[in-house]
Amino acid sequence: MNWKKLLNDNRLGIKKTSSNNSLDGRSQFQKDFDRIVFSPAFRRLQDKTQVFPLPESDFVHTRLTHSLEVSVVGRSLGNLVGERILER
């Protein structure tokens, strides 16, 4: 994988409006996050069951809910690490 090519601002579908954040106030991270959440591929996860061995409850998780739960945990951990780094 070529990360410079993957993380390039000239990616397919991205129109450059200005050097800073766009007029809507969203960061590049937020734009990428929104693009993923609203994509058809992400929505297809709703129809897939996330299998857990010996579940304790009768609730069924889909891969969509599992992915959202994992993203929330990941974001919380990232924020915590970022705060600790800034404290140093």
CA angle at residue 17 from 14 to 21, to 5 degrees? 90
From first to last of the 88 residues of the chain, give the pLDDT tens digit: 777 776 666 665 556 655 555 567 888 888 888 898 899 998 888 888 877 776 677 677 788 888 989 999 998 998 899 899 988 8
Where are the domains positioned within the chain? 62-88
Tokens describing residue 2: 């070529």
Please, are residues 49 and 60 in contact by the beta-carbon 8 Å criterion? yes
pTM: 0.54
Q: Are 74 and 83 in contact (CB under 8 A)?
A: no
